[in-house]
A and B are shown apart, each in its own frame.
Chain A
Amino acid sequence: MIPPTSETRNIQELSPPLRALLSLLLFGCFYTSLNLYPQSGYFAESLAEFDHLPFPLAGAWRDRLLWSDYWTHGMMYALGLLSLAGAFLPLLHPHRWQAARALLAISLIWKTFLLWADFRLWSTNEVIQLVAAGLMVIDPQTCLARVRATLIVLLTGSAINDLYHQGPQFFSILQLLALALWSLVTRWRGLGFGVMAILLFYDGIADASYHTVVLFPMLLLSWDDQPVFPRPSPAHALLGLFLAALTVTMVPHGLFILSPNRVPIEVDLRLKKKDLHYHIRIVYPRSSDNNLNDYRVGIFRFRTAVNDSDSRAEQLLEPLRDQGVVVLGLGLFNQCPECLREPYLYEYYRQELQRRWQPEQLSVEASWGGIPFYQCHDGN
């Protein structure tokens, strides 16, 4: 056996930052399994419960591949544990990082397959992890440089998302400035990086954002003494802005880092079929009697009244059914604000309800911060 030379040893070994990133990404895969495990929507039984939102365009094709609850959870459990094992492999056996990389590839395929099952499962956290994991699988040795560039583009995209949806915001503008300094102004890259790290840390504390938990360490790992670009130019800036702007339309739910979690969302549903009248209101955030930082959804039903001025509302605690047909599955709307802001959610609900229940009248109105973003009135 030929003993390894310094060159081959360098090829065989992975530097500590890269091993740490590999471990982090594998742990992220495990954590996705842990979070998704009690949820629904991504297995066949969810279809009957009206607790499923297929992916746009490719959703119909993917729905044919939905597995049963039993097999889906079984795979999630098995591959989740494999990811966890892989996360510690770079620590316990530094020279066997290729095995961890192989596990990451398997986890990446499985995770993409899983997320593709339901549009609601996507989030900023998952998008960033998928891209970074892909880069690590393809070429781990140059991964950090590419992860750095990817983070800059995605973080720029998130700032553009914030500006697009909410107009000029202090944190979004500060975020853009910090990223510009980090990537384009060699002398001030440390300052830009530091400001970006502080913003992310603040976001993790202030908004309890899931994505920060993986994104923040990833950002710290991507720091390097060398400039992001050897010779930054306006072309780099334009390309980065263009790619970042694409995220507004191409990334599910958009990217939100400094996410506006507190902007209220209200949805008004009015359904009628024969003698059945349903008037439902969905509010986010739900009035927080239990938790001061409780941003969960409230779903209320207004009892059928002689006149609409009777506004007694009761919290809806079970799905609405009519002769075995689920008219309103609570899980469909009990989602994060990014999902509730998707017009596609309401359009799907409207079409699917027409197919399942054939209501005589169906009215859906959704607003974000008081501004309507979806309106539909079917029937008389």
Chain B
Amino acid sequence: MSEQVEANKLPDFVGEHDIDSTTLDIIESTLENTRHEMDRVVETTAISPVIREQSDQFPLIADPQGRMVMGQFGSAIDTIIENAAVDWDDLEEGDVLATNDPYMCAGAISHTPDMLLLRPIFYESDLVGFSSQWGNLMDVGGKTPGSMPIQARTIFEEGIRLPPVKLYKDGELDEELLATFAHNTRLPDHAEADIKALAAGTKAAENRIHELCDRFGKDTYLEGCDAILDRTRDGMIDLIHEFIPEGEHYAFEDYADDDGLGNGPIKLHLEIYREGDTVYLDWDGTDDQVQGTVNFLLNEKMFKMFTGVFLIMAFDPLLTFNDGYYDLFEVNLPEGTVVQPESPAPLGNRLPLMARQFDVLQATFSKLIDGFNVAGSYGTSPNLVYAGVDSEGNNFQMLEILYGGIPARPGGDGLDGHSWWPLFRTVPAEYQEAYYPLTIEEYSTRTDTGGPGTYRGGHGITKVYTFEEDGAITFQDDRAHTYPWGVDGGKHGQTSEKKLIRTNGTEEELPSKVENVPVKAGDKLLFRTAGGGGLGDPLERDSERVAREVRQGLISETAARNEYGVVLNHGTVDTEATEKKRQSIRDTRDDPSEFDYGPLPDDDELAERIAQERREFDSD
């Protein structure tokens, strides 16, 4: 109730701003540069490959009320301080709060390996803002290496959690607290170094903000923060009015496969409509939270951020995004659903639902906005942990994030084997081979797995590992049962697959989510990720482009003929045969539906298939 009142109040930064526009531009561009500087500091000083090679970390700069002025994922600073042992008034210069408990920050971080640091920034004894940075630690303890078990039933099995506490007091690191935390992880050296690197990132922002206050004065700096928020809010009002029709309701739903315990498919349902300046986003109709670890504690403000960023990136990429437009979005997240689970539900593998939430958001907008379409993606952020003790008695633990097919986009093909996360990168095979006991036999594009379309969906990838020491693997993926959808006549992409090939040649198909599967030296793992969906009628795709992709090995000649109607003769387009083939496909096919979900059985049968797969795997 109080939140409702809060939401309808005009934010205090709206209005006239006593700051000249050039100074404002300078403050804005400095904060923008600072954000990237924070990332660079963390990337270069951290030691975990997920941070240093894969850039899994997110920076943020906020105003004194805790509103994100510059950053990526939006701010939950007020919630964090509310849940902290300290109060707003207890914050002092040189303090850094740390937490890795998603339930203590309303899901601002979404699983326990993400460590969030928050530094209040003071100038002449006054609070002038916050900087915050979070990153994915290699391990925080719990029942599996990497702390993302598949079979946990509660968050207590997912490792040690820090509630929001002061890790640094008055500039001094609480060494005992850090040591206590690190002691509970499998890789204490990594944890200590990475947490210090995150702190260095937040410090970089403090230095820059001090410089801005030196240069322009504290009051001008703060006025600037308000004006930046207000400017974004104005821009968002324009976008909303231009692109979101008023009155009509649009809904979309899609499924994540399963929770790794045989429960699935898991439905996400989103409805969007606009009244005046306000856009309503309603997750009612989404499935209840599940037993397994795929629950995704979606932070309400973060979801507003995602929605705004989507509109900005689609239609006005130069607009800065920040918390300025929060009051323009109203979100309903029903308690007890997979997007708002109740503590202590486990959260370790929230990635399928996090990724699906992005997919569903872009699909709903595809329905809503005339002439704008994006297809479905590879659908999660697949990851693999390989751990054990090598023959010399040393512990090893590798964590890797993998990528798949980026969906076809307005005006362009999807990207093969790329990341929907911004700025992430693969770990080089040469890094993995140098530091871990394994060989990378193959890292390649999965031909024909991206959905056909006028614009083709990106292909998934195949990565083949040969393990050189006995150990165990834990991984999670999705889109093994459901398909990345195609849109507007484009076809669905292909599903993911995993296979173990034992040294004696026997092959074992594995489900998309497994925990601590023992492997022997010499065993091979084939990790294949899903493609992305296609956009538009594949028969409209430029036939020369199709021929070229056949020559490049990205499309098979069979797919060229059957999906695109392109007939090749020694690698070049046979124009006459192509026209004929395309005509015959047009004559015999049904009218395409708006979305192509692939050859899915009905819900009950799909649920039975998923349960059956898990029963068979568990009995092996």
Chain A complexes with chain B = no
